Amino acid sequence: MTINTFSQVIMSPLLSRLSVLACAAALFFSLRKKDAEGRSGSFLVIIAVLVVRDAFLAFVELPGAPYLSDLLYLSLAAFMVMAPFERSRLLLAATMAVNAAAVGLYVAYAYAGLLPSFPAVAFPLVPMADALLVAASGAVNASDRGDGARRLMGETWPVVFACLGAYAAAAFLLGYGSAAFGRLVAPASYAWLLVVALVDLRDHDAETIEAISYYEESIDSLYNLTFRVGAVLKGSFTTEDVLGGMNEVMMAETGADGGTIYLVDEFDDIIVAKAYAGAFPPPFPLPESLPRKQNRVESYLKHAQFRLGETVLGDVAKTGKNVYSPDTARDPRFAALRAEGADMNEDFLRLSSFMAVPLMVEDKIIGVSAVSKVKPGDQFDEAAFDRFKLLANFGTLAVSNFFSFLAANERSAIERSAGIAAEIQSTIIPKKLPQFPSLAIGAFTSPARGVYGDYYDVLRTREDRVVGVIGDVAGKGVQAALVMVMIRAILHLITNTNKDIATVLDWVNRGITGKIDMDHYATLAIVALNVATGELEYANAAHQPLLVYRRATDTIETIETKSVPIGVERANEYRRKALRLYDGDIAVLYTDGIVEAMNEQGKQFGRKSLGQAVARNRDLAPKDIAGKIRSELSAFIGGARQHDDQTILVFKMKL
């Protein structure tokens, strides 16, 4: 029925169809914030096509149009089900080819008067064939759950087939002009879109819960490591005690029966045992002269030295490669060990599962950490290996900082505290900023004597994504520096995610709150930049606003959000702001030491002066802009004392 009046709209099947499509569209729109793969956008395209199709058919009566539009609809649905699976690509191409041929034949038959002898009954069979091909693809690939799209289609293809198959069969049996078809079958056939949206929403929520659980467990592990090493530092300044505490945390967090840590001696090119605990069978053949007695073997391992490249531990120290052997009985790397122990029944020599990772500071290997399981059938899994690598990565930072502690131990109490904090800060501040053809980055930091509370970092999380962060920890000295270490550790763990930058800030807050003193809270500002498009996400935890210089208008924008600092309220949810940088635009993150710097007359430098300095130097490279700001700030302060750290981070697009 063609609609000509408003009352006919109310009485027509159009409203029921559009209602179902509107519900599906609302679900997919809500999914767009969580969907990093773009699936929801594809389904919204299908919904838009159906809305236009149904509205057109309701107001314009064109013979054959319902059938031709169904071929387009079923082609899009088949594409969504088949495209994620490589094994269905040929089937998808065949489906598209058949539908295209059906369109051509139908136009020739119905409109051009050609092919008068062609059997018209063949045309309705094509949509039913499409539905059957969707079912065939789903059945063949049901076990393939490689990524989000495959998992979603693997779960929902039966519903898609049922809806599309019933729709095609009803069109064949009842005809498009049937009232039952228009009012009941057609709206009901759209139900597969609702089911797919609800299943996708459920899967995204499950992924979020799983990710949060993983990150919280990892953050707790990092906290345990930091807490244990920190507790050792309070009572001891020996390398063995610090590494012993680190080794015990490694064992506890991975479920290991034993563990050991060796440090590299650069002068003699050897590794030296510094920590040993639990049941740790030797992961290499023992010297023939060593008696196979448990106390003698343990004593040997506690005091052993190996040349770089010698034994599996020396090889890790030389090459920097991880060793993960969940089942040493099946690992050819431990064949010699199995041969040596073939005729022995000593339990203390049996190694069931083994992991070893290098301890690295930047690109320098300073040692090796290894853990073991000894019970037959008891094995490390991938999650334990990931946790082990994570703890080794950030435990190495603690060890590196400890060496800085020792170097500073001869200073006076105040000097030592300030020096330790400075050493820690210099360790966590990036030595080199990444640069891209379309994005340049510059920075400077100037600590005030005895304060050391600023932190900045730039992390390349993907080929096209870079994350910049700047923060200011309340208080001063070693405690503030250790808070910075914790924040840095968490950020390096969680920024490699598809979640938005506000979620990243939420996770940082959850990891910090409750684990630091209230007087050591931190303000933090984070930006995530797409280096290819200039798209920028910004989130702020009570930090200074983001400044953006717009080249096109020669103006400064201030991007600000109201929020609370990190470490104050665990349940707080941060918000993000999205914007875009164009060619020549500049984004600036900075700490309050910049804008609150005072001259001898007590006047502050201010955000306005900072913005003017950026605009004046807009044609320079970011590192030169940062240098100019530093010079102007120094000239403004004059002989006045610097009261706070000063840090600035500059991003400039070159599209």
Q: Structural domain tally of the chain?
A: 3
Q: Does residue 570 lie within any of the structural domains? A: yes
Residues 493 and 391 in one domain: no
pTM above threshold 0.75: no
Claim to verify: residue 180 and residue 242 sit in the same structural domain: no
Question: In this structure, how many other beta carbons lie within 10 angstroms of the beta carbon of residue 513?
Answer: 18
- Shared domain for 399 and 429, answered yes or no, is no
Instruction: Say what the pLDDT of residue 94 is.
Output: 87
647 DSSP β-pair partners: 445
pLDDT score for 342: 42
What gap in Å lies between CA 223 and CA 515, rounded to an integer?
A: 8
Q: Are residues 435 and 523 in the same domain?
A: yes
Indicate if 384 and 433 belong to the same structural domain: no
How far from 342 is each of 284, 310, 506, 585, CA to CA, in Å? 14, 23, 53, 69
**Best CA proximity match to 390, nearest among 521, 271, 508, 214:** 214
Residues 455, 386, single domain; the answer is no
The CA distance from 297 to 120, in Å, is 87
Residue 518, in any domain of the structure:
yes
Residues of the chain with pLDDT under 70: 1-12, 35-37, 210-238, 266-267, 337-346, 398-428, 449-452, 475-478, 517-519
362 and 511 in a single domain? The answer is no
| 527 and 387, same domain (yes or no) | no
Query: Which of 207, 226, 252 corresponds to the end of one domain?
Result: 207
**Paired residues of 557 in beta bridges:** 548
Domain that holds residue 82: 6-207
Is 1 part of any domain?
A: no
Give the CATH number of the domain where residue 97 resides: 1.20.1070.10
| CATH number (domain holding residue 272) | 3.30.450.40
Q: Is the domain of 396 the same as that of 484?
A: no
* pLDDT for res 344: 47
Looking at the structure, tell me whether residues 59 and 176 fall in a common domain.
Answer: yes
| Four-point Cα dihedral 87, 91, 96, 101, nearest 10 | 160
- Helix (H), strand (E), coil (C) string for 444-512: EEECCCCCCCEEEEEEEEECCEEEEEEEEECCCHHHHHHHHHHHHHHHHHHCCCCCCHHHHHHHHHHHH
The pLDDT score that the predictor gives to residue 10 is: 47
Tens of pLDDT, residues 344-389: 456 778 889 999 999 887 778 888 999 999 988 899 988 889 888 8
User: Which tens digit of pLDDT belongs to each residue from 242-292?
Assistant: 788 888 888 988 889 999 999 888 667 889 888 899 999 888 888 888 888
Co-location of 202 and 150 in the same domain: yes
In a domain, residue 253? The reply is yes
Q: Tell me if 415 is assigned to some domain.
A: no
Whether 637 is in a domain gets the answer yes
Q: What is the DSSP string of 610-623?
A: HHHHHHHTTTS-HH
**Domain identity same for 431 and 398:** no
- The edge-to-edge listing of strands for the beta sheet with 576-580 is 454-462, 465-473, 522-530, 535-541, 576-580
Residue 448 is assigned to a structural domain of this protein: yes
Is residue 615, in this structure, part of any structural domain at all?
Answer: yes
